[in-house]
Amino acid sequence: MLKSIKINDIYINTYKNEKLFNTLKKRKKLDFKIINENFLKGTAGVVFSNYDKFKDNILVLYGDNYLKIDIKKFYKYFIKHDLDFLIGVYKKKDFSVSGFVKFDQNNHIKKFIEKSPFLKSKVGYSNSGIYLFKKKFFKKIKKNKFLDFANDIFSKNIFNHKCQVYKIKACKTFDTIDLLKKNLKN
């Protein structure tokens, strides 16, 4: 399915679990490349320290989120609106454990607030862990250090008029490693 939207290279980031992902790749005959972190770099840190491997557009999906989303529609929206950055968001209450995304009536991102106990009773839209962006959008980011998208990138007020949200129906989190181990037993 990803190849139908011109995503030909798929990378899985591992930290202390490279063997498990190699086993998965071999047993299920999956086509992905592994980026193994020797030390934690954070989600953004891994992407930016491997920037030379990526082409024009980069799709980031968090491995511990199940999203109710049509990725083709997500990609087509990004292309149709000629965006620099697109983030999936879903409606929820309680932002003490997830990022709050504020945007205007045209879906332009205005502010991002990461996990705040002051937003426990707030209702709004949260970061769902799916991003699509043009490689050139983040060209000034320093590489080879720990970087978290929410804390180190999104909180820096980097968004312009070509940065939008895409509303999805649902997002659920789970433990990726436990799920992989369970599936490999079968």
- CATH number of the domain within which 12 lies: 3.90.550.10
Structure tokens at 152: 């180190």
**pTM for this model (two decimals):** 0.85
Return the CA Rg of the chain.
17
Supply the range of the domain harboring residue 176: 2-185
Nearest to 115 by CA among 132, 131, 101: 101
Look at the chain and count its residues: 186
Nearest alpha-carbon partner for 180 in 3, 27, 39, 7: 27
Question: CA-to-CA distance for 144 and 176, rounded, in angstroms?
Answer: 25
Which of 137, 153, 147, 152 has the alpha carbon at shortest distance from 54?
Answer: 137
Which position has the token pair 């060209």? 139
How many other C-beta atoms are found inside a 10 Å radius of the C-beta of residue 163? 20
Q: What one-character DSSP code corresponds to residue 169? A: S
The pLDDT value given to residue 101: 94
> What is the tally of structural domains in the chain?
1
Question: The tokens of 22 are what?
Answer: 């190699």
How high is the pLDDT of residue 142?
Answer: 72
Predicted pLDDT of residue 1: 61
What are the average pLDDT values for consecutive 10-residue runs of the chain, which has 186 residues?
75 82 82 85 89 88 84 94 96 89 94 89 92 88 81 85 92 68 69
Give the angle 67-72-73 at the CA atoms, nearest 5°: 85
| β-bridge mates for residue 104, sequence order | none
